[in-house]
Amino acid sequence: MLISSPMRRIVSILVFLLASFFTLYGQSWIIQGSIENAEEGPVLLASFYGDRFRVLDSMDTSSGFFYFMLSEDAPTGIYRLIYSDRVDSVRMQNRKVEFIFNRENLELFISSTDLGPVIYFENSLENQVYREFMEFELDYEAQLMSLYPRLDPVQPEEAQDAVEEYGRIQRERESFMDSISGLYPDLYAVQIMNAFRSPQIPGELSHNQRIDTLKICFFDPAGIDKPELLFAPVYAYKLIDYLSLYKDYALAKEEQEAAFIEAVDHIMVNVSMDEDLRSFVVEFLLDGFVMLDMEAVQVHIADNYLDESCESDIVELVLSRMEGYKQMLPGQHAPDMVFRDVEGKNHQLSTLGHSYVLVVFWSSTCHACSKLMPELNKWYLSAEARDLEVVAISIDTSAAHFEQAYQLLKPEWISVHDPLGWNGKLSADYNIYATPSLFLLDRNRTILSRPASYRQFIRALKKLED
């Protein structure tokens, strides 16, 4: 439901008066707008850093109108609005739209469609350019996908037209980027765009030759060298794209780990010496290979790069816990623990009385956790749930961040918040050095599995049925 014009004028005046007040106290930027077909409830404003986002503020809306105040020193970057709306009588939860904030007041309107929300801006060159680039990029990717099968036909002479078209669309992309950069060199949207520049690859190369060429020159047009882009989900995507060049399903695990180690070394050569950038890249890679259960790559990162981006006590903590975590293998007994849940009730792991217990260590700032926890919660609430209890232990050091994430999920399992984080006893007992970390236990606390994802957790459950 949209706000009426007279009421909107009144609200806008109130927002203006509030803005004037907050300006005196150093809060001078306004993000306001309306959501078509909004459901009554909270609207959340979140900001990005690296590959994660955190909720900055929230407000309840009954009409779809919202406004937020950002402080004078709020960083330029990608921000996200999270809300609920209704499409064809169906309530759609956790809808998301993203936009650039670059030290300007923003007024926006979010349209609700079957294909997802669409965001419109009253006046914002930053977001107009960003949207134009994103639309161009989607079309460019679609063209590439349609061309790839034609570049490697059974009869090589049939590929000539595809080779020429492949070169043309790469040149068009480069020309588009050059044009936008020339017109608006100082825009944050242009910095994002330029970070995604890529080398032009000859179409006459075979598929494997194109992959090998990209491995060498992927970062040549744009390295990982702008700390300000940590406030947008740029470098996480670049790292994933580059690592995908080394993924080969035909390789044995040891061979795949060796390939990824080569990729890691090449990545680090192309990261500037900025401390924040190198710290993000190292932590991102380490977390990723923990999820993939590739200990050889983890050890390589820890031995060669962890100490250059972290304080020595953190390095010592991670390395020691990596060794301890390796010993917590299926068949071993997990430590018993006593904990208090968010409702103030005390529990002991060994006396829960369930056939199985899944212990999950997570945090609100963990990107993988933001995907895992809703999936796990949906399974827990389903009729398929067996006699299995979940003990979810948040290691958020910020009570506010934990509370926001907890209220979004509202799980019915046992929820625990350990504000001591990595230094808490529970994390230490289980040698936790990355999130999420999962342990599937039987009633005797025997470790049955250490799933690294929701899919691995489901596979571990199916094995129990065999």
Please write the tens of the pLDDT for every residue from 250-264: 999 899 999 999 999
Q: What is the DSSP string of 167-235?
A: HHHHHHHHHHHHHHHHH-TT-HHHHHHHHT------TTS-HHHHHHHHHHHTTSSS-B--GGGGGTTTH
Assess if residue 234 is contained within a domain: no
| Torsion over CA: 50, 55, 56, 61 (sign) | positive
- Total count of domains within the chain: 3
Q: Is the pLDDT of residue 24 over 50?
A: no
What does the pLDDT read at residue 270?
94
Residue 233: inside a domain, yes or no?
no
Q: Are residues 72 and 141 in the same domain?
A: no
Which position has the higher pLDDT, 320 or 125? 125
Using alpha carbons, select from 50, 59, 57 the residue that is nearest to residue 77: 50
pLDDT at 18 over 90: no
Of 107, 123, 139, the position where a domain reaches its end is 123
Q: Which residues have a Cβ under 8 Å from the Cβ of 360 and sit 6 or more positions away?
A: 372, 373, 376, 390, 391, 392, 393, 436, 437, 438
H helices of 329-396, where? 367-381
Q: Are residues 84 and 158 in the same domain?
A: no
State the pLDDT confidence band at 5, using cuts at 50, 70 and 90.
Answer: very low
Q: How confident is the model at residue 3 (pLDDT cuts 50, 70, 90)?
A: very low
Instruction: With respect to residue 405, please indicate whether it lies within any of the assigned structural domains.
Output: yes
Per-residue pLDDT tens digits for 229-242: 999 999 999 999 99
pLDDT band for position 292 (cuts 50, 70, 90): confident
Return the top range by mean pLDDT from 12-16, 240-244, 297-301.
Answer: 240-244
> What is the pLDDT, as a whole number, of residue 92?
81
Residues 217 and 138 in one domain: yes
Helix or strand holding residue 166 (H, E): helix 160-183
Tens of pLDDT, residue by residue over 303-355, are 788 755 444 445 566 667 777 887 888 999 999 999 999 999 999 999 998 99
Structural domain that includes position 35:
5-123
The better pLDDT of the pair 151, 176 is held by: 176
Average pLDDT of span 66-86: 93
Instruction: Identify the helix (H) or strand (E) that includes residue 61.
Output: strand 52-61
Q: How confident is the model at residue 267 (pLDDT cuts 50, 70, 90)?
A: very high
**Residue 325 belongs to a domain:** no
92 lies in some domain: yes
Q: How confident is the model at residue 151 (pLDDT cuts 50, 70, 90)?
A: confident
Task: Check whether residue 102 and residue 167 sit in a common domain.
Answer: no
**pLDDT score, position 320:** 72
Single residue among 69, 101, 123 that ends a domain in this structure: 123
Residues 6 or more apart whose CB falls under 8 angstroms from that of 19 comprise 28, 30, 69, 105
Asked if residue 113 and residue 128 are part of one domain, the reply reads no
Residues of the chain above pLDDT 90, percent: 58
pLDDT at 10: 46
- Of the pLDDT bands very low, low, confident and very high (cuts 50, 70, 90), residue 447 is very high
Q: So what's the pLDDT on residue 148?
A: 86
User: Burial code of 214-243, b = ≥16 C-beta within 10 A, e = fewer?
Assistant: beeebbeebbbebeebbbbbbbbebbeebb
Kindly state whether residue 310 falls inside one of the protein's structural domains.
no
290 φ, ψ to 5°? Answer: -65, -45
Pairwise CA distance, residues 365 & 52, whole Å: 6
pLDDT band at 271 (very low <50, low <70, confident <90, very high): very high
Shared domain for 109 and 135, answered yes or no, is no
- pLDDT of residue 23 exceeding 50: no
Q: Which two tokens mark 143?
A: 């063209």
Residue 314 is predicted with a pLDDT of: 54
Kindly state whether residue 247 falls inside one of the protein's structural domains.
Answer: no
**CATH number for 61:** 2.60.40.180
Rounded to an integer, the average pLDDT of 15-31 is: 59
456 plus 358 within the same structural domain = yes
pLDDT of residue 204: 86
- Same domain? For 64 and 145 the reply is no
pLDDT at residue 8, rounded to an integer: 46
In a domain, 241, yes or no: no
Is pLDDT of 31 > 60? Answer: yes
Based on the domain organization, do 118 and 149 belong to the same domain?
no
16 pLDDT more than 90: no
136-148 mean pLDDT: 93
Whether residues 393 and 411 share a domain: the answer is yes
In the predicted structure, residue 385 carries a pLDDT above the cut 80: no
86-95, 117-126, 185-194, 348-357 — most confident range? 185-194
**Domain of 365: which CATH number?**
3.40.30.10
Residue 462's pLDDT is: 87
Given this model, what pLDDT does residue 155 score? 62
pLDDT of residue 315: 56
- Quote the pLDDT of residue 88: 77
Same structural domain for residues 401 and 455?
yes
Q: Do 169 and 196 lie in a common domain?
A: yes
Residue ending a domain, among 222, 249, 280, is: 222
- Residue 153: the pLDDT is 67
Q: What is the mean pLDDT of the chain?
A: 87
Which is more confident, 193 or 91?
193
Token pair in block for residue 153: 């036909």
